[in-house]
Amino acid sequence: MLDVRKVNFAYGDLQVLWDVDLTVNEGEIVTLVGANGAGKSTTLRNISRLVRWSSGSILFQGEDLGLLQAHDVVGRGIVQVPEGRRIFPEMTVLENLRMGSYPSGVRKDREHNFERAFSLFPRLKERQKQLGGTLSGGEQQMLAIGRGLMANPRLLLLDEPSLGLSPLLVRSIFEIISEINRQGVTILLVEQNVYQSLRIAHRAYVLETGRVVLTGSGADLLVDDHVRKAFLGM
């Protein structure tokens, strides 16, 4: 479904991605793990076309994303829930969700998608009139994911969804990610919580200083020596 081939990217003189290869198949949860600054978010920013790689290619169902602009990518069904949630602080919960269904192709499903977001996150329904900026961190993360689902994503890019959440909330966020996947949404998950994300992922890539150093099934990487030493502290 998504093919990232030999992608190189630099912020100015600082090269962040080196020949990154990555594939996501339809129906999978694929996770991209690695330390801070390994290039995980940068990979997602390239896929969403917030930035443009310098060489290599990114294909989505055979289409070259390099020819599209960020807003077109969303129209194709690739939706990113960015790091730090990026809720619109002075819009209500309902308005934030509404913005999620901005692309013209998905507006007709708006009512149905409101229901989906509210059934996954009942808390959002209680808070629908509240301003986004006044929500707690956990609620903002729910809103960010709910907002992402409003666009009928075929591929959902999640950037650090568990960052800054309480351990209890972290568990439920990962359960919800699995649930979204069971509903038919393919997921590319970037996480620093390596243990939880490997547990729910079908396949995983380990990124170190901008290079893919290891790949395999989630279960295999959980017992891999290098992964256990580097990320799980064992």
Return residues touching other proteins (CB under 8 A). Answer: 48, 50, 69-71, 74-75, 79-80, 82, 86-91, 95, 98-100, 102-103, 107, 147, 151
- Beta-bridge partners for 55: 8
C-alpha–C-alpha distance, residues 121 and 124, integer Å = 6
CB of 132 to other proteins, least distance (A): 9
Contacts of 115 (CB under 8 A, 6+ apart): none
Are 29 and 189 within 8 A, CB to CB?
Answer: yes
Which CB, 88 or 195, lies closer to other proteins? 88
CB of 146 to other proteins, least distance (A): 13
Q: How many CA atoms lie within 13 A of 196 on its CB side?
A: 21
Residue 6 main-chain phi, psi, to 5 deg: 45, 50
CB of 124 to other proteins, least distance (A): 17
Which CB, 18 or 88, lies closer to other proteins? 88
C-alpha–C-alpha distance, residues 30 and 64, integer Å = 21
CB of 157 to other proteins, least distance (A): 9
CB of 70 to other proteins, least distance (A): 4
C-alpha–C-alpha distance, residues 130 and 142, integer Å = 14
CB of 90 to other proteins, least distance (A): 6
Which CB, 110 or 211, lies closer to other proteins? 110
Determine the angle formed by the axes of helices 110-120 and 93-100, rounding to 10 degrees: 120
Which CB, 31 or 140, lies closer to other proteins? 140
Which CB, 56 or 75, lies closer to other proteins? 75
C-alpha–C-alpha distance, residues 15 and 20, integer Å = 12
Which CB, 92 or 172, lies closer to other proteins? 92
